[in-house]
Chains A and B, each alone.
Chain A
Amino acid sequence: MMTSLLLALTLAQYTPQEAQALFVEANDAYYRGDLAAATERYQKLLDAGLGGPDVLFNLGTAHLAAGHLGEAVLFLERAARLSDDDDITVNLAVARHKQVDQVVGEEGSVPFTQRLAAAMDERLVAIAFLVSWWLGFALLWFARRRAKLIPGLVAAVLLLLGAVLGGALGIAANVRENVIEGVVLPDSAKVLEFPGDTAKVAFEVHAGLKVRIMETSGRFVRVRLPNALEGWTQKESVVSL
C-alpha cells in the first residue's frame, strides 16, 4: 500500500504535502462557489494517478453542484466501485434524481454472474481462495503421508471451498472483462439505428444515464440500456466507468 502510494506520487511529481495542499485548495474553491476551479484541481490529482475514492467523490460532487450531470455520475460511480460509503450513495441518488431519462421497463433481474461479481469483495475472495487452496493441498499431503482420516477430510473440504472461490473469481474476471458500463456525458446524445452518419435517430439519451457498452465500430459504440433498448452513438458521448 505504502509502496503504491509512493510510486503514484513519484509519477505525478506531487509530494504527499503538495497533493494534500492541492486537495485542500480544491475544497476551498468548492466552498466559495468557484466550482470550475475546484473540479480543475481534483482533476489534476486524478490525472496524476491519485484518484482514490475521496478525490473521486469530491470531484463528482463538485460536478453535481455545477450541474454537470454526466461527469457527476461518472466520477461518483467510479468512487462507488472503490468504496461502499453511504455519502457516495446519497449523492449518486441526487444525481440520478436530476437525470432526464427514465428507462421504462427495466429488466427485472440482472444476470446471476453480474450480481455475483457486483456483490463479492474480490480481494477478500482472492485471499480466501489462496489460503484454502494451499492449506487444502498441504493437509492432503500430510494425510496421505500419515494415512490420517481427519486431515484428509478437512483437506477435501478446503479444496472444495477453494474450487468454489476460484470459480467465483473466474466469473468476476469474466464480468470485468466483458461487461463494460459507461455513462452518457453530453446533455443530449443521439442514438442511431446503425453505425453511420446516414442512420436514422432511434432515440436520444441524456447526461448521466448509465449504459452498457456492447461493442465498437469506427466512431460509434453500441450501447444497451437496462431495458435492453439498443443503438449506436458517438464514441465520445459515452465514457466507460
Chain B
Amino acid sequence: MARTGSALVIVAALIASAPARAETEFSMQADAEKVGTEDTFRLDIVISNAPEGAVLGLPVSNDFEVLGRSQSTQMSYSVGPGGAGVMTQVQKHTLTMRAGRTGTLVIPYATLTFGGKFIHTNTVTIQAVKGRLQPERTTRRPQANNPFGFPPGFFPPGMDDFDPPPRSEPFAGGNEPVVPRGDSDLFMRMSLDKTEVYVGEQVMITIHLYSRVDLSSVDSVTMPKLDGFLSQDFKSPSQLNSTQRVIGGVPYREYMLRQKAVFPLKPGTVTIEAPEADITTGNILYAGRRVHRKGNELELVVKNLPPGPSTNVVGRWRLSREVSQTEVALGEPVQVKLVLEGRGNLQSVTLPPLGAPPSFRAFDPETTDKATNSRSHVGGSRTIEYTLVPQQTGTFTLPALAVPFFDPEARKYDEMRVDEITLTVRPGTGGANVLTVPGTPTIGGLDGPKNQLVGGGLKSLRHTAHFAAPPKPLSSQPWFVPAALAPVALSVLGSLLGFALGALGQKTPEALKRRDARAAQKRLAAAQKLLKTGSTVAFYEEVERALSGFMTAKLGVPTSALTRAELTAKLSEAKISEAERARILAVLDLCDLGRYAPGMGDASARRKAIDDAAAAMGGWA
C-alpha cells in the first residue's frame, strides 16, 4: 500500500509538472548592416513556439533577390520556476539574399498568421553600396544573449552559425587560439610558426579544429590558395586524433587537420586565405549533422634576403661527392655520386653542372630525391649519379663545386662545397695491345678502347707576337700619288725641254753641224738596209752621200762638188790626220768603183764599204 501510494504521488507530480508551451516569439535579423551589391547576406527569421497551423509570410521586396532558403527546427525542454516544465520549439528560416540596388534599403517585416491572428517581425535596414564588401563588411554580431535567451552552444553545430569566422586572428597570447563567439563549441583555426620570414624560408601552416562536441568525421578540408608559395605537405592525418586543450578555462578537444610547409617566393606582405572544412558531428549513439566551418585568414611578412652572394638557395645544406675510383683504365666507366642533403625546399635547389673534362663522355645523370622531415622542418636529400667514360689517357680534374646559400636559422650566408678530384686514366689492357696482321679484320670484342684525339674547339693563343700598329695601305701613304704621277710629269717635262732646246739650238753653226752629222748617220743606217737586197748603185750612192753629208757637217762647207785635191786640202785645214784622210778618200774611191766596176755588188764588198765608211765617220767624230 505504501508503495502504491508513492507511485501515485509521483504520477500526480508529473501531471502537475506537465510541460507548458511558452509564449510565441517572432523576430528577424540580418547578419550584416552594410553590404555590397555583389555580396550575399543571410536573413534569419526565428519563430519560437509557433502555434499549430501558423503560416509564415516571408518579407517581399523588389530591392532584394532571394538566392536560397533553408529551415531548421529545434525542440528543448527546461524546468521552470516551481518545477514546471517548459517545452520550447524554435523554427529558424534562413534566407540567403543579395541587394539589387545601392542605397538604404528596408527589408519589410515577416508575418505569422494563426487562428485568425496576425503578428509580424521588425523590419531590417540594410545599407547597400556598389561592388563587393565581403572582406570588410560590418558584421552584425549577435547579442551576448540572443533574443531567446539561449546560451552559446545551445543549438547543435550547424544551426547557430550566426557569427562568421573572424578575418585574421592568429593565435593571440602565444599558442592560445581565440574562441569565436558564435561557434565556440566547434571552430577551426589556422596558425603560422612565424609571422616574418625571408624569401625561400620555411613557414609551417597548421590547421586545428577545436571541439566541445563529439565529432564523427572531417569530410573535407579546403586548404587556402597558396599563390606565391612553394608548398609541401608535412602532416595530413587520416584519422581524427585529439588532445585535450583548455582554452579560457574551457576544456576543448584539439584535432590537427593539416600541416603544410610553405616557402614564399617573393617579398611583401602576403594574406593567406581562410581554410574551410566540412565536419560531421555525433558519435555511435547520436547521429549528428554535417556542418561547415571556416577558419581565419593570416598575414605573413616576407623579406628580401640580406645583401650577400647571388643565390636563391635558402635552408641549411651540405654537399658531398664520391667517385667509384680515381684511377681507371681507358674506356672503363667511373661513377660519380653527388649528394645534397639538408633542410629547406629541396625542389628549389639547383646544383651547378659537374664540369666533367671534355675527354670524358658523360651520360645523362640519374637523380633521386628523398624527402626527410624532421620534427619541425622539411628537408631531404638529392643524389645525382653520373657515369663518365674516359676517352683519353692522362690526368684529369673534376673541378671543385661551391654553392652559396642563406641559412635563415643562423641568419647568414654559408657555402656548401666539394673539393676537386683528380682522375688518372691509363691505357686499356684489352685488344689495343693485340698484334694483328695488317689488313685483317679485327675480331669483335678484342679491339679495346682507343685514346681518342678529337679535333675542333678554339685554336690556342699566339705565344709570340709581332707588336705593330695596323699598317696603313701603301696607296694611302702621302708619297704614293706623287710617286705614281712622277714618270708622267717627267716625260712631259723632258718632251717640253727637248722641244725648247731644239727650237733654240737649230740656228747656230754648231747645231747645224750636229744636225747634219745626225743626218749622215741616218743615211748610213739607210745604206745598211740596202746591204743585202738593194741595188749596187743605190747602195754605193747612199754610202757616198752619207760620207759626204758627214764631211759637210764637220767641215762646214759642201763637199759633194769638190775634187779630190780640194777635198784633201779642206781636210788638211780641218787638221784631219793623214791616215783618216786616206781612209775617207779610199771610201769615196770605193763608192765610185762600186757604182761602175763589175764585181762590187757582192755582200762582202758592200760590207767592207759600209764598215769603212762607219770607221771613217767614227774616227772623225
Contacts and interface: CB of A to CB of B under 8 A. Distances in A.
Interface of A: 1, 4-5, 8-9, 16, 19-20, 23, 27, 30, 45, 49-55, 57-58, 61-62, 64-65, 78, 81-82, 87, 90-91, 94, 122-123, 126-127, 129-130, 133-134, 136-138, 140-141, 166, 169, 172-173, 176
Nearest to B485: A133
Interface of B: 457-459, 461-471, 473-476, 480, 483-484, 486-488, 490-491, 494
Nearest to A177: B476
A141 B491 contact: yes
Contacts, number: 98
Contact of B474 (A58, A82, A122): A122
The 3 closest A-B pairs by CB, nearest first: A137-B487, A54-B465, A126-B474
Contact of B491 (A19, A64, A140): A140
Contacts of A51: 469-470
A147 to B, nearest CB: 10
Q: Which of B457, B459, B476 has the most CB of A within 10 A?
A: B459
Contact of A8 (B463, B469, B488, B494): B469
A126 B473 contact: yes
A94 B480 contact: no
Most buried by A among B457, B475, B483: B475
B469 A54 contact: no
A30 to B, nearest CB: 6
B487 A133 contact: yes
Instruction: Pick the most buried of B462, B471, B480: most chain A CB atoms within 10 A of its CB.
Output: B462
B461 A4 contact: no
13 contacts: A5-B467, A5-B468, A9-B467, A23-B465, A50-B469, A51-B470, A52-B470, A57-B461, A65-B458, A82-B470, A122-B474, A130-B480, A137-B488
A122 B483 CA distance: 16
B462 A166 contact: no
Given A82-B471, A94-B458, 7 more contacts: A5-B468, A8-B467, A23-B465, A54-B462, A122-B475, A141-B491, A141-B494
A126 B480 CA distance: 9
Contacts of B459: 61, 87, 90-91
Contact of A55 (B458, B467, B488): B467
A172 to B, nearest CB: 7
A23 B458 CA distance: 19
Contacts of A8: 467-469
A124 to B, nearest CB: 9
A171 to B, nearest CB: 11
Contact of B467 (A16, A130, A173, A176): A16
Given A126-B480, A166-B484, A176-B473, A58 B468 contact: no
A179 B483 CA distance: 26
Contact of A49 (B466, B469, B480, B490): B469
A5 B458 CA distance: 29
Contact of A127 (B461, B464, B474): B474
B490 A137 contact: yes
Contact of A52 (B461, B467, B473): B467
**Among A9, A54, A57, A173: residue with most chain B CB under 10 A:** A54
B443 to A, nearest CB: 39
Nearest to B468: A52
